[in-house]
Every structure is written in C-alpha cells, then in structure tokens.
Amino acid sequence: MDTDLHHYTVEKVVKGFVYNELEEKGLFGLAGRLVIQPEYQRNYIYNDGKKDVAVIESLLKGYPIGLIYFNVVGDNLEVLDGQQRITSVGRFVTGKFAIRLDGNEQVFSSLPAEAQMKILKSELLVWHCQGAEKEITDWFQTINIAGIPLNPQEILNATYSGPFITEAKAEFSNSQNANMQKWSSYIKGDPKRQDILAEALKWVSSSQGISVDAYLAQHRKHADITSLKAYFSSVLDWIDSVFTRSPDKEMRGLEWGRLYEEYHSNSYDAAAIDADVDVLRADPAVSKPRGIYEYLLAGKEDKKLLAILLFDETTKRAAYEQQTQKAKADGMSNCPLCAIGDTANKTRIYKQSEMDADHVTAWSQGGNSDLENCQMLCITHNRAKGNR
Ligand SMILES: [Zn+2]
C-alpha cells in the first residue's frame, strides 16, 4: 500500500459538502471529488451534540483533530478514516447544528468572522493511500477510529463490503425504516451501530449451520438480500403468531433466532400462552421474567428458566413434618443446623412458624423449589445462610 501525506484546509475538504439527512450520512466533499461515506464505512454516529461539538471546539482552539486517511480511487478519493470528523465539520459549516461560544448558542453563520476563518483555514493532515482492495480493507480492520472503536459488525461490513452489505444496510441499519420500532422491541441495540443487521445475519447463518463470515463471503457480490429478509421476517412473524400481546420489555434481546429454530415447528394456543404470560409476569416467585417466554415455548417443564424463588405452602408443610418426625425419633433439634451445634437449641423442636424454608441446592444453581430440595431451618439459621 502506497501512502503520501497531504495538507488540506477545512475549507477545501468541505467545499460542496452534501449531507443526506434521511440516511444520516455525509456524501461528498472536495467539490465532489471526495466520497465521504463509501459503502464499507459505518454510519455517521457523531451527531450526539457532544462528539460533533467537540470537533468544532477543537478547531476553534487550534487543536489538531487527528490524522485522516483517504483512499485513492482513480481520479477520486474516498474517506478511509476520518468520516465522522469530516461529516461533523461539514454539517457545522452548512448550519446543521449549533455550538455554545462564550455562553451563547452559535451556528456557523452567526460566529464572528475571525472564528469562521479560524475553522475554514484549519489544517487537516491527510494520508492518501493507494493499494489493492484487500490491502485497504485489511488495514481498515486493524485501525481504531479515534474515540469509538469499530464494533464486530462494522468490521464485518468493511471486510465484506459490496452490493450485499450495501443492500442489507439500507434495510437493517436505516433508522428511518418503518419496521424499526417493531424490530427494536425484540432486538437490543442501535441500528446505526449495525446491531439489527448483526442479529439478522446471525439468525440466518446459524439456521444454515454456518458462520456469519461464511454467509457474507457467499453472498458478498450479490445485491439480492431476499433470503436474508425472508428468514428475518419468518422469525418475527413467528414471534407475533405465538405471542400476540404487544411486546413486553423482557422480550427485547432474547435469543429469538435460536428459539425459532428450536420451537417453531410446535403448535401453540396463542390465547392460552398470552394468559400464562400474564400470570407468570405477575408472580413474585418468578425471579427471572426473561425466562417466561422460553419456559412456555418449551412446554412449562423447565422451571430453572424462571429461577423460582419460593416454596409453596404444601411443600413447606411436608418438609416440616418429615424433619420433625425424624428429629423427635433421634432426640435432636428439627433444625438440622441447630442439631449439629453446641447450644441449648441442640435438641429444640421448633414450631413451623419459627422456621423458614431453605433451598438445599440454591435456586441460582438450578435448584428447584420442590420437596426434595427443601429443608426447614430455624429463622436464625435461615437468615444466617442468606437469601441464596
Ligand atoms: Zn437452627
């Protein structure tokens, strides 16, 4: 890869700056010669009123904003690294956001002339890089963009850039997509940081028993994302058909791809499921409400999924009877911890109201709340063991 260093002014780089409000990305600079967001770049994420403002404040104070890299493509240039900073400057100069200066809110056009000049004449150090596509993407994978490192999906997007990723991002990484609100109620994260796309790719590739890398390598050169969209929709449609309620907050971020693969060929009574969800969500013994959905999908057998906290009254009564009968026969306390101690309580028989139920194997270790795993302890010993 060949590199050579160039000195640009801000004025020159943001000349003819175009920002696409809908897709939230900077498009062109250098009077049209510079592509600010080539397809392997990530979305613009500096428009948070902090990072974008910090870029402008740095320029006003005369601080450098770091090295920038352009990729030379024929007669044109693409931003390889520096897209967030260039887009911030371009948006400010074209009046897209304000900063505070000496306590006053200022857009570019309302700044004093000398401050405007200071920004426009700021020098940007730019390396021009020229090399094979593979060299460029390999290199791109190894750098960290100042401030916010690339996340794994952003690296995948760069590595497998091409028509497939372009189409997939237009569908799954576009916060304007009409479906985004619905998707975000089942999938955690930020579409702009590629979290929805990452999940869609994870689901379809694991359904085919291959890695996301392998899936992207297969599809990289094709603009047709039908199979990705179809699989993603089938998972979401299935969730909607089984859980007809409007999504609970606990449903966000569940492993829906895996749940679909494991359970979608079962049939469910949606009305009964809905009623069960209500009952379980209202049950204080269910300490892990996120487990409710798989518990129901799996046929209400695996109580570990719910991390049930409490024993019911029948179980406690039965455990008390068993222990007390045996303790009386042995002449020892019916609290097994008192019985092995050396205090006056060694032979004391407690009333049930003086005892509490304890999990022999803690529920956090998968211990069930059943008779087999229940022992009654005197209140003092139960408290000493803590709420496990
Ligand atoms: Zn005791």
Distance 359 CA to ligand 1 centre (A): 15
Distance 66 CA to ligand 1 centre (A): 67
pLDDT value of position 150: 72
Distance 361 CA to ligand 1 centre (A): 18
- Tens digits of pLDDT across the chain (388 residues): 777 888 899 999 999 898 887 777 778 899 889 998 877 677 788 888 889 999 999 999 888 788 888 989 888 999 888 888 999 999 999 999 999 988 889 999 999 999 999 999 998 888 888 887 777 777 766 665 444 667 788 878 877 888 999 999 999 998 889 999 999 999 999 998 899 999 999 999 999 999 998 899 899 999 999 999 999 999 999 999 999 999 999 999 999 999 999 999 999 999 999 999 999 998 877 888 999 999 999 998 887 788 776 788 899 999 999 999 999 999 999 999 999 998 999 999 999 999 999 988 876 666 777 899 999 999 999 888 754 4
Q: Are 65 and 85 in contact (CB under 8 A)?
A: yes
Order the strands of the 25-29 sheet from edge to edge.
Answer: 2-9, 123-130, 68-73, 76-81, 34-35, 25-29, 18-20
Distance 338 CA to ligand 1 centre (A): 4
- C-alpha span between 374 and 52 (Å, rounded): 59
Q: What totals of helices (H) and strands (E) does the chain contain, helices first?
A: 17, 11
Max intra-chain CA distance, the chain: 97
Distance 327 CA to ligand 1 centre (A): 13
Radius of gyration of the chain, Cα coordinates, nearest whole angstrom: 31
Distance 260 CA to ligand 1 centre (A): 48
Q: Are 385 and 369 in contact (CB under 8 A)?
A: no
Q: Look-up: residue for tokens 């211990």?
A: 367
pLDDT value of position 142: 63
Distance 332 CA to ligand 1 centre (A): 11
pLDDT value of position 140: 67
Distance 368 CA to ligand 1 centre (A): 22
Distance 262 CA to ligand 1 centre (A): 46
Specify the pTM: 0.59
Distance 341 CA to ligand 1 centre (A): 8
Distance 344 CA to ligand 1 centre (A): 11
Distance 321 CA to ligand 1 centre (A): 16
Closest CA to 205 of 129, 257, 149: 257
Distance 378 CA to ligand 1 centre (A): 4
